Amino acid sequence: MNDTDMNGLESLVWDAVLDERIDWFPLHKVVFVGKLIAVVVPNLNSFNVQAAVDAGNSIPIIYLAAAFNYLVVFVIAIWMVAMLLFEDRDLA
């Protein structure tokens, strides 16, 4: 696959998400969609502190602050997408 096989937008997204091209892999679109989903879906493992609590360790405040910031950024991003999707709807 070369640049003439892809349109401009797909090429830009491909470069942004993968950071490299997988020309040798026959299922390159499957890899692309998988990595795109990995970027869009939140990493919920950053909120998992069960192992530290079970071991009796304290959770550093900087870790909690980082997880809270991740939560706020993701909620704002989802809220903005929802606003774009429903801006022309008359819900009344």
More confident residue, 37 or 16: 37
Confirm whether pTM is higher than 0.85. Answer: no
Q: What is the mean pLDDT of the chain?
A: 78
- Residue pair 14/28 in contact (Cβ under 8 Å)? The answer is no
Residue of 5, 4, 46 whose CA lies nearest to 29: 5
Q: Token digits for 83?
A: 């606003």
Predicted confidence band of residue 3 (pLDDT cuts 50, 70, 90): very low
pLDDT in tens, 38-53: 888 888 888 899 998 9
- 55 backbone dihedrals φ, ψ, rounded to 5°: -80, -5
